[in-house]
Amino acid sequence: MTKPVRLALLGCGTVGSEVVRLLHEQAADLTARIGAPLEIAGIAVRRQGRNRGDLPVDPAVFTTDALGLVKRDDVDVVVEMVGGIEPARTWLVEALRAGKSVVTANKALLAEDGGSLHDAAAESGADLYYEASVAGAIPLLRPLRESLQGDKITRVTGIVNGTTNFILSAMDATGAGFAEALDEATELGYAEADPTADVEGFDAAAKAAILASLAFHTRVSAADVYREGITEVTAADVASANAMGCTIKLLCIASRGPDSTGAESIGVRVYPAMIPRSHPLASVGDAFNAVFVEAVSAGQLMFYGRGAGGAPTASAVLGDVVAVSRNRLAGVRTPSESAYAALPIRPMGEAVTRYHISLDVADRAGVLATVAGVFARHEVSIATVRQASASTGGNTGSTATVGRGGDAILVIVTHAAPDAALAATVEELRGLDIVRSIASVLRVEGGV
Ligand SMILES: NC(=O)c1ccc[n+]([C@@H]2O[C@H](COP(=O)([O-])OP(=O)(O)OC[C@H]3O[C@@H](n4cnc5c(N)ncnc54)[C@H](OP(=O)(O)O)[C@@H]3O)[C@@H](O)[C@H]2O)c1
């Protein structure tokens, strides 16, 4: 019998406990697929005495000394399912420097300081795999890292946060406001007690950084990602999107192309945007994730599935455990990154996008011409203008209706323009006395 591959599991919560369960239930198949059995050398947790139900593992394997476990000579593979920057970074750098293979689900660490891990892996020739860190169960990083290496990826557009997708889908289906939809997500277990990382877009930004790094062979960190969350999205925005045949999604977008000087660069951003209902990402509902990849030769590819949850995430973790174990047995490693392109990051102001702007204006002669003049001054071309009822927030029709105090709502959709020009246009509109308020500003993606 071939010598077992010995695993140090760090963390035994939502993901870790499912990994333990699957290691037990699928032991025979995993052994056959790898060519050696997998053995749990130890499991590091925070609370040793915590009741872990009927987990099929010897209680003696639990320890609170994660670093001690990582350093043990009888450990071949370290599987990190704790999260956060420290002490996870110290554990993983230690493991990689010692030549141990690492599998991690930790998007926050990879996005903040993936460079430290990649460098440590490259120096010692150890494997570093992290499929579960983006879009849970969906095989996505392996296709970017391996299958598409013969192609040139131009754009990655994704729905990579299940909580916000659940909230926006609920708002779209029921007309609920953000707070009401968040409450529902919390009740159903889709949102955490503190939902900040999800609703403010931090989680999606971390994933965007990981995707952009792999897609464009460039080190991208979370700090390079332009980010807006969904807390400002209103029921009126959703209704307005509906009126245009669109829905609103929190998108992560990573694209390559020329910057203002013509040099090749990449832009990485996360924000809520309107997309047409005909776009493949529009039908991704509930807490599902999907990522749309565009490549020069392959064309358009779509990856879809469960982006979170214990069992789906454990599936991705175990796939990585099998891969690194096979590599150990074969005495090889898969390079974890190629950052040779080192492309510069394009500032958000240079991102070419479209805006949907809803203005509450005085309903009198000359207003439209004044508003149009502001757009023209910033070289932003208007695609459509719709005037609607002020009393309904601008979402019920196309005929001019005078609202309270002689107001009207103008709904303007622009053609593509640099984000800086669009932002400057909105700023100038805000200062006009004929503009009572700007009800909503949303970007439009996907060719409406
Ligand atoms: N949950 C998902 O759906 C999902 C999806 C994709 C990726 N991920 C990623 O997977 C990782 C784990 O997520 P999770 O949802 O499983 O988290 P979780 O349920 O909160 O579990 C965290 C585990 O880490 C242990 N832990 C915490 N601090 C520790 C320390 N200082 N030393 C040793 N152990 C410590 C905890 O011990 P106790 O059990 O004793 O408290 C617990 O077992 C995170 O990086 C997360 O971003 C999660």
Q: Which residue has the tokens 């973790």?
A: 317
Mutate to test the pocket of ligand 1, among 46, 79, 130, 190 (most ligand atoms within 8 A of CB): 46
Q: What is the pLDDT of residues 274-307, one digit of tens each?
A: 999 999 999 999 999 999 999 999 999 999 999 9
For residues 221 and 387, which has the higher predicted lDDT (pLDDT)?
A: 221
Q: Closest Cα to residue 228, out of 246, 204, 248, 211?
A: 204
| Protein residue with its CA nearest to atom 44 in ligand 1 | 83
Whether ligand 1 lies within 6 angstroms of the CB of 9 is answered as no
Whether ligand 1 lies within 6 angstroms of the CB of 418 is answered as no
| Protein residue with its CA nearest to atom 15 in ligand 1 | 14
pLDDT range class, residue 448, cuts 50, 70, 90: low
SS (HEC) of the chain = CCCCEEEEEECCCHHHHHHHHHHHHCHHHHHHHHCCCEEEEEEECCCCCCCCCCCCCCHHHEECCHHHHHHCCCCCEEEECCCCCCCHHHHHHHHHHCCCEEEECCHHHHHHHHHHHHHHHHHHCCCEECHHHCCCCCCCHHHHHHHCCCCCEEEEEEECCHHHHHHHHHHHHHCCCHHHHHHHHHHCCCCCCCCHHHHCCHHHHHHHHHHHHHHHCCCCCHHHCEECCCCCCCHHHHHHHHHCCEEEEEEEEEEEEECCCCCEEEEEEEEEEEEECCCHHHHCCCCEEEEEEEECCCEEEEEEEECCCHHHHHHHHHHHHHHHHHHHHHCCCCCCCCCCCCCCECCHHHCEEEEEEEEEEECCCCHHHHHHHHHHHCCCCEEEEEEECHHHCCCCCCCCCCCHHHEEEEEEEECCEEHHHHHHHHHHHHCCCCEEEEEEEEEECCCC
| Protein residue with its CA nearest to atom 31 in ligand 1 | 46
Q: What is the pLDDT of residues 96-145, one digit of tens each?
A: 999 999 999 999 999 999 999 999 999 999 999 999 999 999 999 999 99
Residue type, 24: H
Residues serving a catalytic function are 207
Give the Å distance between the CA of 89 and the centre of ligand 1. 14
For residues 159 and 387, which has the higher predicted lDDT (pLDDT)?
A: 159
Give the Å distance between the CA of 91 and the centre of ligand 1. 14
pLDDT range class, residue 364, cuts 50, 70, 90: confident
Whether ligand 1 lies within 6 angstroms of the CB of 89 is answered as no
| Protein residue with its CA nearest to atom 19 in ligand 1 | 13
Give the Å distance between the CA of 310 and the centre of ligand 1. 10
Whether ligand 1 lies within 6 angstroms of the CB of 14 is answered as yes
- Considering only 24-33, 311-320, 369-378, 406-415, which range has the smallest mean pLDDT? 406-415
Average pLDDT in the chain: 94
Whether ligand 1 lies within 6 angstroms of the CB of 132 is answered as yes
Whether ligand 1 lies within 6 angstroms of the CB of 162 is answered as no
Q: What is the pLDDT of residues 72-84, one digit of tens each?
A: 999 999 999 999 9
pTM > 0.85: yes or no: yes
Q: What is the pLDDT of residue 151?
A: 98
